[in-house]
């Protein structure tokens, strides 16, 4: 929306901020203040340079695996897939990274048997 405001101002350079407010109200059905229009127009270069990027995304990060990114349309499907099937990644730090899980499981069995007795 902000890039549209900047584009409109670029095309209509003599338009006042009050008229810009009316245009935003009509175009986006949104009431804005003069300061919002002013702050948006101050950052025209920023908004127009971001216009080339996908406007649906809030932040643009470079792909960690660009080949995979080319094959699939977005990483959203992967995040939803992982959430659906409970797939998580864990990092082990310090001593917890050196623990042998089989020893813990055996120790838990021993503890549980003592608690039952």
Per residue in 73-109, pLDDT (tens digit) is 766 777 888 888 888 877 666 666 667 778 888 888 8
Mean pLDDT of 55-72: 65
104, 105, 108, 114 from 117: Cα distances, Å: 20, 19, 14, 5
The per-residue b/e assignment along 81-99, b for 16 or more CB within 10 angstroms, e otherwise, is eeeeeeeeeeeeeeeeeee
Same domain as 99, residue 69: yes
What's the rounded mean pLDDT across residues 50-65? 60
Structural domain tally of the chain? 2
Residue that terminates a domain, selected from 14, 42, 60 = 60
Q: What per-residue confidence (pLDDT) applies to 61?
A: 66
Mean predicted confidence (pLDDT) in 66-74: 67
Residue 46 in this model has a pLDDT that exceeds 70: yes
Residue 66 CB neighbour total at 10 angstroms: 9
Domain end position, chosen among 22, 42, 60: 60
CA distance linking residue 46 with residue 3, whole number of Å:
9
For residue 30, name the pLDDT band (cuts at 50, 70, 90).
Answer: confident
Domain limits at 87? 63-117
Pair 54, 6 in one domain: yes
Looking at the structure, do residues 53 and 75 belong to the same domain, yes or no? no
């Amino acid at each position: 929306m902000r890039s549209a405001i900047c584009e409109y101002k670029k095309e209509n350079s003599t338009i006042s901020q009050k008229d810009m407010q009316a245009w935003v109200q009509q175009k986006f059905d949104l009431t804005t203040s003069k300061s919002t229009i002013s702050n948006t127009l101050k950052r025209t270069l920023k908004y127009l340079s971001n216009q080339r990027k996908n406007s649906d995304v809030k932040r643009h990060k470079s792909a960690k695996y660009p080949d995979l990114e080319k094959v699939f349309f977005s990483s959203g499907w992967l995040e939803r897939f992982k959430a659906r099937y409970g797939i998580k990644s864990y990092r082990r730090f310090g001593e917890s990274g050196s623990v042998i899980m089989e020893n813990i499981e055996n120790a838990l069995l021993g503890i549980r048997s003592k608690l039952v007795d």
